[in-house]
Amino acid sequence: MSDVRVRFAPSPTGYLHIGSARTALFNYLYARHTGGKFLLRIEDTDLARSTDESTRSILEGLAWLGFAPDEEIIFQSNNADKHREAARRLLAEGKAYRDFTPKEAPKDANVKDAIKERARAQGDEKHMRDNPYRDLSSDESDVRAAAGEPFAIRLKVPVEGRTAFNDQVYGIQERDYADTEDLVLLRSDGHPLYNLAVVCDDIEMGITHVIRGQDHLTNTHKQILIYEALGVTPPTFAHLPLIMAPNKGKLSKRKHGEVVSMTTYRDAGFLADAFRNFLALLGWSASEEREIYSLEELIEKFSLEGIHRSNAVFNFHPDDPRKWTDDKAIWMNAEYIRSMSLEGLLPHVKAELKAAKLWRDEYEESREQLHERTSASLEIGYKEWFEYTVNLIRQRFFTLKDFSAQGRAYFSEDFDFDPAAIAKNLTKFPELKEWLPELAERFESMEFFFEDIIEEVVKAFAEEKGTKLGVIMNGARTLLTGVAVGPSMLAVFEVIGKERSIMRLKSQIAWN
């Protein structure tokens, strides 16, 4: 046990972004590794942009990844009074002052650019301490406030000196006070601002380690100033490198769409274990040549020292359907699907088949159970068949979706034929139109339908027709499964079963 307390503090202005998800992951891993607590705080103080829908979506994403907070979720907006209280205290202590400068008209869409422009225009001439109200006497300030004149409250940053902290990732960070403005604590409408709110809440929640994106590096200096004014020792900080788009630019919802949303991965048939594993390796490594880690192993190996300083690219190709997201994430998911325990995979396959309306309850009834219930005596129970089939077809699957898409023909009579498979395996060999139904007839006379005996029959058939075995097999594969890829065709025949195999080989619908 330790007294480490970390928090993940998203603002609900959209879905759970991949970068935020990784921040949550690192906080979670750190908490678990140290035996501390992982907390969640929703920073919903931006009334204009925060939505309940976003909060739900973020919570959903976190739940999917398995990061349950150890204490009740804090909603920052509920603490506004405390934030105002803190600002007033600082004002009373002379560590902050009222700024009566009229509020500027709200900027338009390009706030970011406008700010940049203004800053550029300012050049290296900095006037961080030239606010005319900074040194207004408290009497006069009180009088004007009492008269109802609107004001914002700004922190009175000392003239001489610097803020410094030892970042656990980036090392010693120092910043001259001259580079930090007298930041606004409370807006003229009484609304507390981000830096104040964060500091107050982190203090109240007893946060010991702040692990967040590197984009907060300069905020940290401002927050340290607030901690100092409040007379509280700041927590330890660890800033994370950012996750960038393929062009090394910013990864954004607006530009990159749902490829950055966590729910996309859940809905696309990713396993949370696999995606979490992938995320962990973006900006962190255990300094060993290995990439598959269970959650337990990540918790055990995780350390702040293993976090990198350079940004990582989330590599995807919007124009290539097969690489719509990072190659490695796809590979990782496939790796999990094919090598995790069948027992662990089954529930996921069940959920996927249910969603696709392909699930049948018999898939959970074993041969013995069926016998007990109906006294029917099958060669093999549905449960055994289902598990054998899933195990067989998972080898070439990338996502859970594949079980209901590519694998549809194993669970339903209603499946589509891939035009490319038809072209490659059927229309190229017109004789197959006659041959395949003929093969079906051979099957009809078979007493047993097992791999080795099927092999004998098909081989003899191919020989008789004077064609390559592959031509027959691949034609049959297309008719039986609708696709051109899959496991050994002998196993496919067996798993599809004699009756269905015969039916599909005779069917002419793929030919039309």
Partner RNA sequence: GUCCGGUUCGUCUAGGGGUUAGGACACCGCCCUUUCACGGCGGCAACACGGGUUCAAAUCCCGUACCGGAUACCA
Per CB under 7 A, contacts with RNA among 300-329 are 306, 308-313, 315, 322, 326-328
Residue 81 interacts with RNA (CB under 7 A)? Answer: no
Q: What is the CA radius of gyration of the chain?
A: 32
Interface of this chain with RNA, residues 326 to 355, rule: CB under 7 A: 326-328, 330-331, 338
Site for RNA in 434-463 (CB under 7 A): none
The catalytically annotated residue of 253, 424, 433, 506 is: 253
Within 125-164, the residues that bind RNA by CB under 7 A are: 126, 150-152
Question: 458-487: which residues touch RNA (CB under 7 A)?
Answer: 468-470, 473-474, 477, 483-487
Q: Pairing mode, if any, of strands 96-99 and 312-313? A: unpaired
| Residue numbers 399-428 binding RNA by CB under 7 A | 406, 424
Q: Report the residue number, 11 or 261, with the smaller CB distance to RNA.
A: 11
Q: Does 181 bind RNA (CB under 7 A)?
A: yes
Helix (H, G, I), strand (E, B) or coil at 412: coil
236 has which bridge partners?
Answer: 209
- HSE-CB at 207 with a 13 A cutoff on CA atoms is 28
- Residue of the chain from 73, 92, 119, 232 that contacts RNA (CB under 7 A): 119
Q: Is 184 exposed, middle or buried (0-12, 13-18, 19+ CB in 10 A)?
A: buried
What span, in angstroms and rounded, lies between the C-alpha atoms of 390 and 395?
9
Nearer to RNA, 216 or 266 (CB): 216
Output the smallest distance, CB 367 to RNA, in A: 26
Q: Which of 33, 88, 144, 170 binds RNA (CB under 7 A)?
A: 170
Could you count the other beta carbons within 10 Å of the beta carbon of residue 248? 10
| C-beta closer to RNA: residue 47 or 146 | 47
Give the interface segment with RNA, choosing from 64-72, 134-142, 228-236, 245-253 (CB under 7 A). Answer: 245-253
Contact status: 365 vs RNA (CB under 7 A)? no
Handedness of CA 178, 116, 216, 313 (dihedral sign): negative
Spacing of C-alpha 410 from chain mean position = 30
Is residue 236 classed as helix, strand or coil in its secondary structure? strand
Kindly state the helix (H) or strand (E) to which residue 165 belongs, with its residue range.
strand 162-167
When binding is defined by CB under 7 A, the residue of 166, 218, 294, 508 that contacts RNA is 218
Identify whether 253 is a catalytic site residue.
yes
List 53, 85, 140, 179, residue binding RNA (CB under 7 A): 179
What residue has token string 């922190």? 155
The DSSP letter of residue 324 is S
Q: Is 201 in the site for RNA (CB under 7 A)?
A: no
Residue (144 or 187) nearer to RNA, CB: 187
CA distance 482 to 418: 6
* Phi, psi (rounded to 5 degrees) for 212: -155, 175
Considering the complex, state which of residue 29 and residue 281 has its C-beta at the smaller distance from RNA: 281
Structure tokens at 175: 């910043």
78 binds RNA (CB under 7 A): no
Q: Tell me how far, at minimum, the Cβ of 279 lies from RNA, in Å.
A: 10
CA dist list (Å): 9 to 41, 108, 125, 160, 223: 5, 27, 35, 32, 15
Under rule CB under 7 A, residue 102 binds RNA:
yes
Instruction: Show contacts with RNA in window 377-396 (CB under 7 A).
Output: 395-396
Nearest-CA neighbor of 151 among 117, 105, 184? Answer: 184
Cβ nearer to RNA, comparing 89 with 308: 308
CB of 344 to RNA, least distance (A): 18
Least Å from the CB of residue 361 to RNA: 30
Catalytic residues: 253
